[in-house]
Structure formats: structure tokens, C-alpha cells
Structure 1
Amino acid sequence: MNKNKIWILTVIIFLSAGYTGCSKSSGKNLNNTAVNVQVKEVTTLDGNEEIAYSGTIEESESTPLSFSGVGTVARVLVNEGDFVSKGQLLATLNEETYKNTYEMTLATLKQAEDAYKRLQPMYKNGNLPEVKLVEVETGLQQAKAAAAISKKSLDDCKLYSPVSGIVGKRSIEPGMTAMPNFSSITIVKIEKVFARVPIAENEIASVKKGDKAKIKIAALNNTEFNGTVEEIGILADPLAHTYKIKIGINNSNRQIKPGMICNVNLAKQNKSEGLFVPGNAVLVDEQGRNYVYAVSQNKTVKKYIKTGKLLKSGVEVTEGLNLGEQIVVAGLQKLVDNSLISIVNQ
């Protein structure tokens, strides 16, 4: 019985070894069948280059509006997306409390004015001490100030737009309690918009104000717009290590809306001394390392590389390749290291 077990175990080990050997051999293209591929040479980049980024559209101006006092919202006269003119009434608060307060201060003011008018002749005739007249005058001034304050509070129950623009956000509804410093309505201007784009810290030095850009917006059927770099941030995002730039875009017909995602190609004068390869030639292994298949005597050589900037024409290679080397750009699916290849199109 023990001999049978030993014999079975030996057979399993033998078969496993044979299967492993076959598996390893199958990955080396031992049947000598050449794989058809296309290749290109590693080159440098000369002249202007468009570098691809992603960004977000934002308004050129944003004006958040809030009521100056606390109160219950009575009416909201605009909706999001409405165009409003400077000075237009947007919303009102319930005025009852403020109106009563104003009427009370007016009554107090009238009383103070009457007292002053009655006592002033007595003071001139010497029948009233000066200190008493000063008290009356002080009371009159206090009443005037109180009336002015209550009138201002009553007027502040109406919210007017200080600028012309589009209602970008409406945060209040009738019946809600409005609070000071709580944005009730936001007015935005979108006749001109900005594409806000994060730029890596190792690339920000090459971006200049006035650089031209092409912006494509997927939400508008990939319509292309022209823009110009107008602002370059000086504070980096501490997590992403990027700087924000703003690219101005004319939007006179208001078809571009804040929040839209855009693809940006930024035209820059190339001064890089690095090498460039097509993006489809770069592969990634299980460890996340980038590599390409170079060509040597009609066979592939797997070469690990380090990459730099992602450009419209390809990827910058900072380490791992030499100028003029041939690399495989098509037919990569069937390749392994040391595969026999046939170049069908250069």
C-alpha cells in the first residue's frame, strides 16, 4: 500500500514538472512563427507642442448675496438660470416686525421734536437751565438715529441685485429663515468663462501668461474653443503638488456653463531634451512599471522605462531608451520578451 502511494506521488510530481515546462516554453514563441508588428523610432521633439490636460469650467465673476438682517422669506422672484439686471428686486422678507419698529421710532422722533420745539423758547427766555435743553437735544438726536436705523432695517427686507448677470444658485424658499452672511442668491457672469486647470509642479515654470490653448467640452459635443492663459496660481495644492491656472474663453452666447469638464491642449514651445515615443507603445506590468518592446535582430527586447510629460504626440521618456532605437507600436498583444517578429510597416 505504501509502495502504491509512493508511485502515485512520483507520477504527480513528474506530470506537474512536465506541465510547468510546457507552460514556460509556450510563452517563448518556440514554434519560430514570426509575429507581424509595426515599429517606430525613438525621437526627440522639436518646435511647438500641445500638452494635454483636464480642467473644469468656472464663471468669470461670482457675487453671493444675502439679507442684512434676520427674517422670514416672503417672496423669491427669480429662479436659477434667470438673467437679472442691476437694481432688480430678487427677494423680500416679511416686513411686519420691521415696519412696526420703524413706526415706533417715528413716534418717538415726533415726540422728541415736539419737546425740543416747546423748550427752546423757554431756554431763550432764561426760564430753562442749559443742562435741560442739552438733554432734550440729545434725546432728539438719539430718536433721529433710531429712526434711521429702523428705516434701514425695513429697506433691507428687499434684496436687490448689485450687478447684471445670471442667477447661478438660489438657496432660499418662501417660509425659510434668512440669516446675515448666509448666501441666499448667487449672481454669476458667464459672458466670459475660465477653464481652471491643475499643472504639475515640474511643468508650471514653462506656462506663461498669454499662452494659447484649445479647449474641448464633451457636454457640447466636443466643440472646440480657443483660450488664453490669464492667471497662474502661486500656491500649490499640498496633496497633489499642482498649481492652478485659468484660461479665459469668450462665451458671448452663454452656451458654456460653469462646472463642465473640459480637455485642454496647451500650446507650448518645446525646450525638452528628452526622448518621445507614441503613447500606445508604452505598457504597464503587474508591478505598475512602464515598459516597451525594443527591436534587436528581428526579436523583441523588453525594456523598462521612466516616463515624463504626457503630450498630444506621445509620452516623454526620461530613462531606458536611446535616440533612434526601434520600438513596437502595433501587434503588441502577442509579444513576450525575445519574440520573433516580422516588421510589416515602418
Structure 2
Amino acid sequence: MMKSNFVLISYVVLTLTFTGCGDKIETREAEPIKVKVTTISGENSQQRYRAIGYSGIINPSKSITLSFQVSGTVERVPVAMGSFVIKGTLLAEIDETTYRNQYQAQAAQAELAKENYLRTKEVFEKGSIAEIKMIEARSNYQQAKSSADATYQNIKHTKIFAPVSGYIGEKMLEAGDLASPGKPVLKLLQIDVVKASVPIPDEEINNYKKGDPARVTIEALDDEEFMGVVDEVSIQTAQDNPTYTAKINIDNPDRRIKPGMSCSIVLNNERKESTMTFIVPVEAVYADEKGNQFVYLADNEANNAYRQQIKTGKLYNNGIAVTEGLKDGDLLITSGYHKLTDKTPIQIIK
């Protein structure tokens, strides 16, 4: 009996031992963290983060504010905002009745003065009156004619015609509004060529000059890139901002680039190739307890993230400059990085 109990107990112990060992063998692999990456590259790459760049805004090549030279009630503005008009198109007009009546009255006075002058001249030539009478009559006629001509110009000024072909960018007055000399009525924009205005720090402005090539990326057009040329470089800073401004001409034959669109610009930077700088999102840069800065890069072969120490420079509108620690071809993790540690498994998504 005791032998049977011993066999039974031994069987139970062995069973529990193997069962417990089986529980310890079961393991689960860590789920990879889903991340997004961008390729660090130089100026000739098609990726967004490249050699040092700037943020800017698109402006029309020419912006003309149109106004009346005389006052009156606006009769009509027969154009819509955003419409394309050709040179010579009627854009707006005010009621000309008052100026037309004034002209007709003064034209009649001028005609009367002309007849009086011609009669006086004829009498003078016969020697019947003094020369001073003829001179007075001639002067009165010339003054009346000048007044009539000036009033006729007021009639012409009751209409605004397009001085150049372009787009109606803004309408400030509508029919029924009261116009006055110099009060803006319309804004006419030319955008066959647009200008990207770029603020540039004072320590970098001397690196660029008129004629330098530029690559402009416009986010609103799905990050499409356009080639441009530096057309202007300011020689003094703005009053409210200690930066200089460069303006870049960009051909826009299909007029898809609109004024007001934001853009990223990479200027020709051959003079800085020996100290290549990259712009990365500020939020992708971390610092450890010792103050060492780092980012997370993706290892495509090992499918994991690794910590890369870096050194940063100036802060720009579109990110922070990384002066050391990155190179062309690095895969910078730009989304999902807050869940990472060194060697964390990752899955790259688009």
C-alpha cells in the first residue's frame, strides 16, 4: 500500500514539474512599433529634408492697386474676384452724369469764347480796335477751352481699365459704394511669374546673390518642386524683424502656384558643402539626462530603431539645424518616435 502511494505521489510531482516547465517555455515576440521615416539627403534629392533650407511665402510678380481719380457713386464693377482680365478691359466705373453736365456747360462757354475771339481778331486786323482787346479775347478763349478739356478728363477718369493682363486679386468696392480719389477699388495681380519671399539671417545673407539657383517646394501642391532664380537680395533688414529678404522668381505658365502659398526653399549652397547642415523636425530631437542630443534612425536590414547622437545649430521656421551626426541616406524616424528605445523593433509605414 505504501509503495502504491509513493508511485502515485511521484507521478503527480512529475506531472506538475513538466507542466510548470511548459509554462516557462512559452514566449511572445514584441510587437514592432509602426513608424514613419524621411530620407536625409542633399540638395539634389527629391526628399523634403535636405541641405540647409528656408521657409517662405509666394507673392505675385506684380500687384497693382487700382483706384478712381475722381469721386462719385460706383455704378458697376463687372469683374469677379479671381477672374482673368486682359489689358484694356473695363473693370469699374462711377456715375459720370455730374462730370458730363459740367463738361457740356464749359464746352459751350469755350465755343462762345472762340466765336468772340474770332470776331475780335477780325476787327483788330481791320485796325478798328486796340491789340489789347484781341489779346484779352484770345486769353478768355484759351482759358475756357482748358477748363472744358480738364472736365472732359474727369469723364474719362470715371472708368478704370486694366493697365495690364492679370487676375483680380481683391475687390474693395461694389456697386453703390462711394468712391473717392485714391481709395482702393481693385487689386490686379500678375502671376505668370511668381516670387517666393524668403527671410534670411544676417550671418547667411552674404552667401547668396542675384542669379543663384533655388529649389522651391510647395506643400499645397503635394510637395511639388519648382526651380527658381534669385532675383533680389535686400541690403538692409526689415524694421520689425532683424532678417534680410531674398526674392526668387519662379515661372508659373499654368498659374497653379497662387499668391499666399507657403513654401520651402533650398538655395544654392556650394560654399557650405564642407559643413553640411540638415533641417529636421524639432520634435524628433531628444536629450538624455546628461544633455546629449539624439534622434532615432531606422535600420532597414535589422528592422529596428537605433539612437544616433547629434549636435544641433540654429532654429528655423521649418525645423532645427543638425550640424553633426547625420549623413545622406539616413532614415530619420519622424512619427512614432515617442514609443522607441534603442534597438526597438519597428515597422516602417507610409
Relative to the length of structure 1, the TM-score reads 0.69
Deviates more, 1:157-166 or 1:123-132: 123-132
* 2:313 corresponding residue in structure 1: 307
* 1:263 corresponding residue in structure 2: 264
Aligned counterparts of 1:322 and 1:276: Cα–Cα separation in 2: 10
* 2:86 corresponding residue in structure 1: 85
Instruction: Say yes or no: does 1:128 pair with 2:129.
Output: yes
Distance 1:156 1:344, change over 3 A: closer
* 1:102 corresponding residue in structure 2: 103
Instruction: Say yes or no: does 1:283 pair with 2:286.
Output: yes
Deviation for aligned residue 1:314: 7.7
Distance 1:215 1:275, change over 3 A: closer
Deviation for aligned residue 1:193: 0.6
Aligned counterparts of 2:59 and 2:277: Cα–Cα separation in 1: 33
Instruction: Say yes or no: does 1:201 pair with 2:202.
Output: yes
Distance 1:273 1:309, change over 3 A: farther
SS in 2 for 1:122: helix
Deviation for aligned residue 1:111: 1.2
Question: 8 Å contact 2:85–2:162 — kept in the other structure?
Answer: yes
Deviation for aligned residue 1:239: 4.0
Deviation for aligned residue 1:309: 7.0
- Aligned CA-pair RMSD: 3.9
Question: 8 Å contact 2:56–2:264 — kept in the other structure?
Answer: yes
Aligned counterparts of 1:343 and 1:221: Cα–Cα separation in 2: 32
Distance 1:305 1:165, change over 3 A: closer
Counterparts of 1:1-346 in structure 2 under 5 Å? 50-271=51-272, 279=280, 282-283=285-286, 291-292=292-293, 307-308=313-314, 315-317=321-323
SS in 1 for 2:211: coil
Q: Aligned partner of 1:78: which letter?
A: V
Q: Aligned partner of 2:65: which letter?
A: P
Larger RCO, structure (CA 8 Å, separation 6 or more)? 1
Question: 8 Å contact 1:66–1:182 — kept in the other structure?
Answer: yes
Deviation for aligned residue 1:290: 6.8
Aligned counterparts of 2:171 and 2:286: Cα–Cα separation in 1: 49
Q: What are the Cα deviations for residues 316-343 of structure 1, in whole angstroms up to 9, with x where unaligned?
A: 44xxx899xxxxx8888788xxxxx779
Q: How many residues align?
A: 283
Q: Aligned partner of 1:283: which letter?
A: Y
Identity of aligned residues (%): 34
Question: 8 Å contact 1:47–1:270 — kept in the other structure?
Answer: no
Question: 8 Å contact 2:42–2:51 — kept in the other structure?
Answer: no
Distance 1:140 1:282, change over 3 A: same
Q: Aligned partner of 2:172: which letter?
A: S
SS in 2 for 1:208: coil
SS in 2 for 1:69: coil
